[in-house]
């Protein structure tokens, strides 16, 4: 008796690929190896996480230092005030640099099968905003989404320069 295999899952038609492993297809959102069916997603929204702990601690120490310096300035010597202000300036710089180097993360959430589910986490606001925008469009009206253009047929002529890798280009001889 010959064993029969179940039919394979139909291949997904990608509508938009943001990065390798992150794409919206005609039926689902693919994030890495996870597939979220569009028919079971609802309530898409994004959240911004809190600041990094280093940034929060620096800001707290800066605020406390300003209050303490303000309270004890009348009884401090001028050299002590200058030293306190220098330390506070250092904390202010550390707070700003930390908040720039360690940005707040953005999270994309949706109700998947009735349960709030985190779909994507990124520090790139533009990437997450684009994914959220196209996911909302796919949920509202799939026919509005852009379709991937078909590849032009290969020709036997010279390839377009955009398709050539610079390492494979050969220099033109000087005599020509």
Question: In terms of domains, do 34 and 110 share one?
Answer: yes
Number of domains in the chain: 2
Please indicate, yes or no, if residue 28 is contained in any of the structural domains. yes
Question: In terms of domains, do 30 and 114 share one?
Answer: yes
Residue from 99, 116, 119 nearest 50 by CA:
99
Please give the mean pLDDT across all residues of the chain: 78
Question: In terms of domains, do 24 and 94 share one?
Answer: no
Provide the CB-side half-sphere exposure for 16 (13 A, CA): 16
With a cut of 80, say whether residue 153 has pLDDT above it: no
Q: Which helix (H) or strand (E) holds 66?
A: helix 53-72
Nearest-5° angle of CA 48, CA 51, CA 52?
Answer: 125
- Which residue range(s) make up the domain with 128? 14-49+105-145
Question: In terms of domains, do 63 and 24 share one?
Answer: no
Please indicate, yes or no, if residue 70 is contained in any of the structural domains. yes
pTM for the full predicted model: 0.56
% residues pLDDT > 70 (the chain): 72
pLDDT score at 41: 87
Please indicate, yes or no, if residue 153 is contained in any of the structural domains. no
Please indicate, yes or no, if residue 32 is contained in any of the structural domains. yes
- Identity of the highest mean pLDDT range in 19-28, 56-65, 165-174: 56-65
82-100 per-position pLDDT tens digit: 999 999 999 999 999 988 8
Question: In terms of domains, do 43 and 60 share one?
Answer: no
Q: Give the dihedral of Cα atoms 158, 161, 166, 168; nearest 10 deg.
A: -10
Please indicate, yes or no, if residue 128 is contained in any of the structural domains. yes
pLDDT, greater one: 39 or 79? 79
Domain containing residue 133: CATH number: 2.30.29.30
Question: In terms of domains, do 110 and 83 share one?
Answer: no
Distance (Å, whole) CA 70 – CA 61? 14
Question: In terms of domains, do 114 and 40 share one?
Answer: yes
The least confident of 13-22, 29-38, 90-99, 115-124 is 13-22
Please indicate, yes or no, if residue 77 is contained in any of the structural domains. yes
Please indicate, yes or no, if residue 6 is contained in any of the structural domains. no
């Amino acid at each position: 008796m010959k064993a029969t295999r179940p039919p394979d899952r139909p291949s997904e038609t990608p509508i938009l690929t943001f990065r390798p492993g992150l794409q919206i297809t005609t039926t689902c959102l693919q994030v890495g190896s996870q597939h979220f069916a569009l028919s079971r997603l609802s309530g898409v929204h994004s959240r911004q996480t809190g600041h990094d702990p280093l940034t929060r601690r620096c800001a707290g120490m800066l605020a406390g230092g300003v209050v303490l310096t303000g309270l004890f300035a009348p009884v401090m010597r001028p050299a002590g005030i200058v030293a306190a202000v220098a330390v506070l300036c250092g904390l202010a710089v550390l707070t700003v640099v930390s908040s720039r180097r360690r940005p707040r993360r953005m999270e994309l959430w949706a109700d998947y099968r009735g349960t709030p589910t985190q779909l994507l986490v990124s520090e790139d606001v533009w990437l997450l905003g684009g994914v959220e925008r196209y996911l909302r469009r796919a949920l509202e009206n799939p026919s509005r989404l852009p379709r991937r253009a078909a590849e032009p047929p290969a020709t036997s002529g010279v390839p377009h320069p955009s398709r050539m890798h610079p390492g494979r280009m050969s220099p033109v001889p000087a005599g020509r």
